[in-house]
Amino acid sequence: MRVRRISTVLGSTAALALALTACGTAEVGGEGGEGGGEGNGGGDTITIGVKYDQPGLGLDEGGTPVGFDVDVATYVAGELGYSPDQIEWTEAASANRESFLQQGTVDLIFATYSITDERRQVVDFAGPYYIAQQDILTQADNTDINGPDDLAGKTLCSASGSRSANNIVDSEEEGGLGVDAQLREAGNYSECLELLGNGTVDAVTTDNTILAGFAAQNPGQYRVV
């Protein structure tokens, strides 16, 4: 049944996890020195990539990121022997998470990073530490969209590097729902939110935790479907 198929695809979990390079164990830390805690920190600092635009998860507030991903990252860094003042934070958008790890720009990534088989070919995951599901965000006064099938003929925003929108538009043979929606790609989900706010797109879809954060930050403007 169609309803069962929707439940299977959108009900599948997005397991948020930390990621590191897939080539063996990542060497964390800068040159020389020991880590700041009781663990085995490999240097003076550790560089961690997080999102800077997602309320409740990873949000830049006055030059310092805050949120659940940031809290988990700080805890893990502490277990590795690094105190909070030894963490160097870097903004990691969805599109550059793998490249940042491969190039050594960061040591670890905590950035609403869903575990997929495709990504496992490039990076190693530890976790998951949070299980999310996928929802849809629309303007509060939009009564036309109440589920995935209602996105047919609508414009759906996708953040570059994210696979969430593909779960909607890809064919069933490709693992999606096969909904005939038009994709509009943006640099990140905060850009998607701007496009949704000015009516350029009809909806945004991704992890419910991300969408709930945006809705809470803009009370009365958006609704989570």
Task: From first to last of the 225 residues of the chain, give the pLDDT tens digit.
Answer: 343 333 333 333 455 667 765 433 344 444 333 344 444 555 699 999 999 999 999 999 988 999 999 999 999 999 999 999 999 999 998 888 999 999 999 999 998 888 888 888 988 988 888 888 899 999 999 999 999 999 999 999 988 888 889 899 999 999 899 999 999 999 999 999 999 999 999 999 999 999 999 999 999 999 999
133, 13 in Cβ contact below 8 A? yes
Highest CATH level, class, for 14-132: alpha beta
> What is the bridge-based pairing of β-strands 108-109 and 46-50?
parallel
Identical topology for domains 14-132 and 134-224: yes
Task: Specify the residue for token string 């990073």.
Answer: 113
Q: What is the pLDDT at residue 27?
A: 45
Task: Specify the residue for token string 């590191």.
Answer: 20
Calpha distance 25→36 (Å, rounded) = 20
78, 60 in Cβ contact below 8 A? no
Beta carbons within 8 Å of 49's beta carbon, 6+ residues apart? 89, 90, 91, 92, 97, 100, 101, 105, 106, 108, 109, 110, 111
Q: What is the pLDDT at residue 182?
A: 94
Domain positions in the chain are 14-132, 134-224
Calpha distance 150→42 (Å, rounded) = 51
Domain 134-224, CATH number (from 3.40.190.10, 3.30.590.10, 1.10.357.10, 3.80.10.10): 3.40.190.10
Note if the pTM is more than 0.75. Answer: no
Beta carbons within 8 Å of 177's beta carbon, 6+ residues apart? 5, 6, 9, 10, 148, 149, 167, 168, 169, 170
Calpha distance 65→59 (Å, rounded) = 5
CA quadruple 42, 35, 114, 98: dihedral sign: negative
Calpha distance 9→67 (Å, rounded) = 27
Calpha distance 117→115 (Å, rounded) = 7
Burial of 70 (0-12, 13-18, 19+ CB in 10 A): buried
Radius of gyration of the chain (CA): 18
User: For 103, how many CA atoms within 13 A lie in the half-sphere containing its CB?
Assistant: 8
Q: What is the pLDDT at residue 94?
A: 86
- Residue 202: strand, helix, or coil: coil
Element holding 68 (H helix, E strand): helix 68-79
